[in-house]
Structure 1
Amino acid sequence: MPQHLLTNFTAHIAGQQLFDPSQRILLAVSGGVDSVVMAHLFKQAGFPAGIAHCNFQLRGEESVRDEQFVQQLAVALDLPLYTTRFDTNAYTQRHNVSIQVAARELRYQWLEEVRQQGGYSYIATAHHMQDSVETALMNFCKGTGIAGLHGILPKQERIVRPLLFADKEVLVAYAALHRISFVEDSSNITDKYTRNFFRHQIIPRMQEVFPAAVKNMDNSIQRMREAEMLYQESVARHRKRLLFSKDNTFMVPVVKLQKTVPLQTIAWELFKDFGCSVAQLQQVLQLLHSESGRYVETATHRIIRNRSWLLVTPVAQPDAPVQVLDAAPAHVVYENGQLHVRQQERGQASIPTAPQTAWLDAAKVSFPLILRKWKQGDYFYPLGMPKKKKISRFLIDQKLSLPEKEKVWVIESAKRIIWVVGMRIDDRVKITTGTENILAIELKTRD
């Protein structure tokens, strides 16, 4: 019921231990009913908060209208306001990603910057029960496995979702009850996007047969979150029992794996991180009954039957020389072209958007810099993303072919990868408003 929303809201925050009532929370507010109601609930509850709004400049005058509405909302609620505008279309072309991915990366990168600079403990987004159910259903259809069936999590690192308990209809009813105005996003109407198709077509048809489908699925999602914890604990025990390493080789005892139940599930968890696809898993299991010397080659590794063991070794790649840059300025020639390194003051110049140029916060980078080819196990924090990502997965997301992947180089500083050369810098060394000096690295490719 809408009249109980505030009570349920504070109870959910306490029950999920999302944040302490004294902590300052940055609210991501689009102007839609969900985020506007969230802002009002924070004000009603007396939680210290600020409002952040992103204008992605994708809907013309409507985007400007939303920005102006949120400005008025912040004044009405007497909350600090932070706004920004993005050239989202340019970002999609520069990074070869979809509009949705671009908007998400730009949004969370900027929100995290504001959170840090503004002294906020967490970022709050207005995802609600239906959003979580839609996510779980889409993941189920994509075949993401058990990890995708927990829906949207209430808390992930510095992001909290205090409305996950709430039904969308209750949020709308609360807005009507308290005469809270909001704006409508026209892009939510079209079924062009997958989420909207599930929202407008799939779930309503399910509710025709099962009227309580959304609530029932949400209950199942919450149980799935706990089931996943048990699953991961079990996988960790099996991995400790079955996976051994020596130098650059991993070893799995054949007899122990043969006796493992459930075999396919545990085998998948063991070998998926070695480039094994779902289609290749059966070939790997056949190695349990083959003669010594047989092998399966995945995208990144070779899994070899060697007597009573399965040996997992990286696919051999020709060695490339490592180059060391001791100081700036510097100039180095390598197989992909030339790198020019210089240091300069921040000034008023705009940050270049070309992927061949990396501008880094010089205070966050230390010499010597190491230029080398990427290798399995490498990871970094891609610009605009709050979590680390293996470079192998990053290159898959970039849709690079195997020959293209083999030509990718990285630059290290203090054992941290700071640039996947010509592609993406590390979020930890990006330029912020506090940057005073820039380390500029420019790639000039061979003609």
Structure 2
Amino acid sequence: MPQHLVTDFSAYISRQQLFDPAQKILLAVSGGVDSIVMAWLFKQAGYHAGIAHCNFQLRGAESARDEAFVKQMADTLELPLYTTQFDTNAYVAQHRVTIQVAARELRYNWLEQIRAAEGYAYIATAHHMQDSVETALMNFTKGTGIAGLHGILPKQEHLIRPLLFTEKDRLVAYAALHNILYVEDSSNITDKYTRNFYRHQVIPRLQEAFPGAVKNMAATIERVKEAELLYQEALEKHRKRLLFVEGNTWKVPVGKLQKTVPVQTIAWELFRGFGCSPAQTQQVLQLLESDSGRYVETATHRIIRNRQWLLITPLATQEAAVVVIEPGQSHIHFGGGQLQVRRQERGTTAIPVAPETAWLDAAQIAWPLILRKWKQGDYFYPLGMPKKKKLSRFLIDQKLSLPQKENVWVLESNKRIVWIIGMRVDDRVKITPKTKEVLSLEFSR
């Protein structure tokens, strides 16, 4: 019954330990029935609260009406009020996002600024039981792991949702019983937005067939939340067994993943953190039976079969195409690491041999030097070999993985490769008994 809503409201806050009654809570209020009733419930229950309202300037006079209405309500309830106006369309154009994403980012960034600056413990939003059910259904139809089925959580960092215990009908009834006014947002009427389609079409049809559908699904969501705790505990054991990191590369042993049960679920949970979609998870599992070199590219990473491992590497960022090294430069930073450059007399001491250092006959070097990533078609004359060799073949012989190959740099002089950085010098610029001056280059990551 609506008259018991305040009691149930306080009981839910206490049961979920949403906040300490002595703390101040910032209420996100749009002017619609949900947020307006939430503000009245906070006042009736005696909690300390302030009201925050965002005007997104998307609905002309209606947006201005909502702002004026919320100001009047804050005066009635004698609660502090914070308002702001956003040029949402400009934000959409600048950041190339949808209006819904823009409004969400603008809203929550501003609310957090007010919360922190004004000493509020939490931001409260007016999501209720139907909102949580809608979210779970939307996630279910889009494809999700168990985490997507727990609906909207009552508490996340500085966000709380104190109305998740109740259906919208009770909020509307409470407003009618106490003659509480509110405004309607015309954008909530259209089915243009995905959530509104579920709200106006899917949920009502379900309730026609099963009158208790929303409450039943909400109860299931609560059970899913508890099951998720057990699920995450088991999943963490699999992560420790299957996921290893070396530098910026993650590694999954092929043999262990093949023997994992249930492999579909574990694979989805392992790889979705690397930008992998449900469909791509199936492609990743196919890599378990493929040859080395095959890969799946997700939104953020590349997952590569390399012998007995799946290697997970971030997608390469754009780097300078070339680095030009002029005479006199001694220290060079580039995408693959650093180079120290020195010129010195040949001397009589033996030249140490190490892949990280190149010793070149300075007389055979033409300036400027060019530092760049290798590319298909490159070739050089490996030290000690009289014939040229394609660099692609050389890298295969070195048994490099695809991520390692992608990070190979070369040094050019007069359009010929003189050093595969950190690997092999070109035979044409090697030091000989006739060498008088040496150019030494030391590579470090």
TM over 0.5: yes
| 1:301 aligned partner | 302
Secondary structure at 1:181 match in 2: coil
| 2:109 aligned partner | 109
| 2:176 aligned partner | 176
Change (3 A) 1:234 1:321: farther
- AA partner of residue 295 (structure 2): V
Change (3 A) 1:249 1:80: closer
- AA partner of residue 234 (structure 2): S
- AA partner of residue 264 (structure 1): Q
The CA deviation string for residues 281-339 of structure 1, in whole angstroms up to 9 with x for no partner, is 33432343445x35324242242241x4334445667754999xxxxxxxxxx99xxxx
Assess if the C-alpha contact under 8 Å between 1:252 and 1:310 holds in 2. Answer: yes
Assess if the C-alpha contact under 8 Å between 2:303 and 2:310 holds in 1. Answer: no
| 1:185 aligned partner | 185
For 1:316 and 1:92, how far apart are their aligned partners in 2? 27
Change (3 A) 1:303 1:130: same
| 2:32 aligned partner | 32
**Whose Rg is larger?**
2
For 2:37 and 2:13, how far apart are their aligned partners in 1? 15
Change (3 A) 1:249 1:37: closer
Q: Which runs of 5+ in 1 are unaligned?
A: 324-333, 336-447
Deviation at 1:249, TM superposition (A): 3.3
For 2:127 and 2:88, how far apart are their aligned partners in 1? 22
**TM superposition score normalised by structure 1:** 0.68
Change (3 A) 1:186 1:318: closer
Moved more, 59-68 or 278-287: 278-287
Secondary structure at 1:22 match in 2: coil
Deviation at 1:230, TM superposition (A): 2.0
For 1:17 and 1:173, how far apart are their aligned partners in 2? 26
The CA deviation string for residues 328-385 of structure 1, in whole angstroms up to 9 with x for no partner, is xxxxxx99xxxxxxxxxxxxxxxxxxxxxxxxxxxxxxxxxxxxxxxxxxxxxxxxxx
For 2:109 and 2:133, how far apart are their aligned partners in 1? 25
Assess if the C-alpha contact under 8 Å between 1:136 and 1:151 holds in 2. Answer: yes
For 2:158 and 2:103, how far apart are their aligned partners in 1? 19
Secondary structure at 1:52 match in 2: strand
- AA partner of residue 128 (structure 1): H
Change (3 A) 1:186 1:243: same
| 2:342 aligned partner | none
The CA deviation string for residues 131-187 of structure 1, in whole angstroms up to 9 with x for no partner, is 111111111111133222111110111111101111111011111111111111122
For 1:18 and 1:257, how far apart are their aligned partners in 2? 40
The CA deviation string for residues 7-47 of structure 1, in whole angstroms up to 9 with x for no partner, is 10000001111000000001111111111111111111111
Deviation at 1:225, TM superposition (A): 1.5
Assess if the C-alpha contact under 8 Å between 1:30 and 1:54 holds in 2. Answer: yes
For 1:138 and 1:172, how far apart are their aligned partners in 2? 24
Assess if the C-alpha contact under 8 Å between 1:290 and 1:305 holds in 2. Answer: no
Deviation at 1:276, TM superposition (A): 3.9
- AA partner of residue 137 (structure 2): L
- AA partner of residue 2 (structure 1): P
| 1:209 aligned partner | 209
| 2:21 aligned partner | 21
Secondary structure at 1:252 match in 2: strand
Aligned positions of 1:198-237 closer than 5 A:
198-237=198-237
Secondary structure at 2:58 match in 1: coil
For 1:274 and 1:134, how far apart are their aligned partners in 2? 27
- AA partner of residue 9 (structure 1): F
Change (3 A) 1:322 1:234: farther
Assess if the C-alpha contact under 8 Å between 1:54 and 1:86 holds in 2. Answer: yes
- AA partner of residue 310 (structure 1): L
Assess if the C-alpha contact under 8 Å between 1:287 and 1:305 holds in 2. Answer: no
State how many pairs are aligned. Answer: 324
Change (3 A) 1:322 1:237: farther
Aligned positions of 1:20-419 closer than 5 A:
20-290=20-290, 293-299=292-298, 300-306=301-307, 308-314=308-314, 320=320
For 2:313 and 2:102, how far apart are their aligned partners in 1? 35
Secondary structure at 2:110 match in 1: helix
Secondary structure at 1:35 match in 2: helix
Change (3 A) 1:79 1:298: same
- AA partner of residue 58 (structure 1): L
Indicate the percent of aligned positions where both proteins have the same amino acid.
70
The CA deviation string for residues 167-218 of structure 1, in whole angstroms up to 9 with x for no partner, is 1110111111111111111221111111111111111111111111011111
For 1:106 and 1:314, how far apart are their aligned partners in 2? 29
For 1:192 and 1:317, how far apart are their aligned partners in 2? 36
Change (3 A) 1:290 1:87: closer
Change (3 A) 1:220 1:281: same
For 1:13 and 1:322, how far apart are their aligned partners in 2? 60
Secondary structure at 2:288 match in 1: helix
Assess if the C-alpha contact under 8 Å between 1:133 and 1:214 holds in 2. Answer: yes
